[in-house]
Each structure stands twice: as structure tokens, then as C-alpha cells.
Amino acid sequence: MLDWTDRHCRYLHRLLSRHARLYTEMVTTGALLHGDVPRHLRFNAEEHAVALQLGGSDPADLAACARLGQDWGYDEINLNCGCPSERVQRGAFGACLMNEAALVADCVKAMCDVVDIPVTVKHRIGIDREESYAFVRDFVGTLSEGGCETFIVHARNAWLKGLSPKENREIPPLRYDLVYQLKQDFPQLTISLNGGVTTSAQLAEHLQQVDGVMLGREAYHNPWWLAGWDEAFFGAPPSGLTREAVEEQMVSYMEREAANGTSWYSIARHMLGLRHGQPGARKWRQVWSDHRLKELPARDVWALAQQAR
């Protein structure tokens, strides 16, 4: 979700669901230790509960970055052991770390030793053609000994050679039964499932077997889906939200961010799916994505978008 789930995206998603936990883009340890920390870690207070996802493989570096995350107010530190991109592999982290469970356990322990917030891990069910359940079972078991109590499991293998990141989300088959088996074998751990979930019915079915479900691209492209989650899955009363009210709140947010020098254009891109499947959605999207309007105030663009529908 690199370049997708930035703080502007998360602000929108929090408007839609008050209870779903939000996750940042993956931030590498190098970016934090040698780069612009505020740029990478700044977030809106409204986003809580929000987890910082880290990419790295050095225990000391990860510990330092986890401590930074806690100091900045994040509610959870999540280690990415699932990204299959070659760029990430060259940095010796992401999905290739599943081949080094002992090292990952050391990383988890190093982070747990310096923070009071939960340290969690996101990973795949296997690497390349390794389809043995024992592989992911042993990986989870080793990490739990390092102090990790929560695992988010993408129910596909990561093929490290020959497939693009997009293909790695589509070609390796989904094997939800392996994630269910992890929960059965480690009932004391929190096991969440990720991958291929596109409907609330599927989400509810998985929650009969595991503790949580993580959504990525489907939630991004169809964000209005989130508006029903609090009532359906968290026992909250009906929100009474409308797309119009959410859009108006986003315009107010754009105006707030404009005072900090942020263009409404960089925020609006995250809400282009808000009217997914609705009459007039195409013309509405065209207005909010028209770079020729970038110099107009957000509220003026909003008026044009309303007229376009």
C-alpha cells in the first residue's frame, strides 16, 4: 500500500469507521534513521487507533524505529514480512525474512524490549513453492517465543522470483485453511487474515474462524464499504453517515491542510472511490482529479463536483 495509505487516506477511512484499526504505509528503518522523521511519522490525532508498519531486518535499527513510533504516539508497531517486491528483497526484508525466522524473532524481541505498545507481524503463508503448513506454523511459533502475540497472515505464498508485486496478489492461490489452522494450533495468539476479501459476507465468514481481517486495496478503491463496518462488526449503532457528509468533512480537512501548504489535489485522490457505483460518479471523479483546477480553493472544486453529478 506504499503511496496509498498515507495520513490523508487514513483520515478519510477514520471518518467512515470509528473502530477499524488503521495501518500506515510501510516505512523502512533507513528512511527513519537517516531521513525526514516528521514527514514519515506525522499523523492526524483523529486516526487512532493507528499502527506504524516498519520494514527492516536489523534488530537494533528496528528497536530504534519502534521507539520513535511509540514516542510519536502510534498504538502498535507492525513488522512487514510479507512484501514480495524485488526492491524490498534487495534490502533483505519483507517476505524474504520468512526464511529467517530466528532473525525475525530477534527483531521482535528487540522491539518488544523498548516499547510498551504491541509489536505485531504481517506475513505470508509461505515462500515460493514451499506449500508445507509446517513452514508457516514454525515461523509463527518461533516469533511468538520472541514476544509477538498478533499475526496478520496474507493467505498466499510470496513468489520471490518471476512475479511482480501485483501478480503476487493474484496468482499464488489463496489458502484460507492454513490461516484457520494457525488459529486452531495457537489459540492464545491473535490471528488475522488478509487477502482476497471483497464482501462483508466473506468478512463475516472469516471472523467465524479467526480474530480479525485486514483489508487493503478493496477498502481503498471502495471506501464507502467501511461505513457499514462499525454497525456490522463492532456492535455500534447505525452511523447515519452519507457520502455527502463525508465529502464535506473531507473538504473541511482540505482547507485545514491548505494552511500547512498541502494541496487539496494530493488529498482528493484518496476519495475518488467514495461514489463507486453511484450515478454520476465518473463525472464527479473527473472534477476531483482535474489537475487544471489545482489552484482553486477546495470548496470551489467541491461545488463543481456537485454540479457535475
Active site residues: 83
Give the up-direction half-sphere exposure of residue 58: CA atoms within 13 A in the CB hemisphere: 9
Q: Which helix (H) or strand (E) holds 305?
A: helix 298-308
Q: How far apart are CA 205 and CA 200, in angstroms?
A: 9
Q: Are 250 and 12 in contact (CB under 8 A)?
A: yes
Could you tell me if 163 and 84 are in contact, meaning their C-beta atoms sit under 8 angstroms apart?
A: yes
Name the strand (E) or helix (H) holding 3: none
- The side-by-side arrangement of strands in the sheet containing 190-194 is 22-28, 50-55, 76-81, 119-127, 150-158, 190-194, 212-214
Q: Which three cell numbers stand for residue 82?
A: 510479507
Q: Residue for cell digits 474462524?
A: 209
Give the three-class secondary structure for 243. helix
- Nearest to 84, CA basis, from 98, 93, 95: 95
Q: Cβ of 229: how many Cβ atoms within 10 Å?
A: 20
Dihedral of CA atoms 120, 126, 128, 134 in degrees, nearest 10, equals: 140
The Cα–Cα gap between 86 and 165 comes to 9
Between CA 193 and CA 210 the distance in angstroms is 7
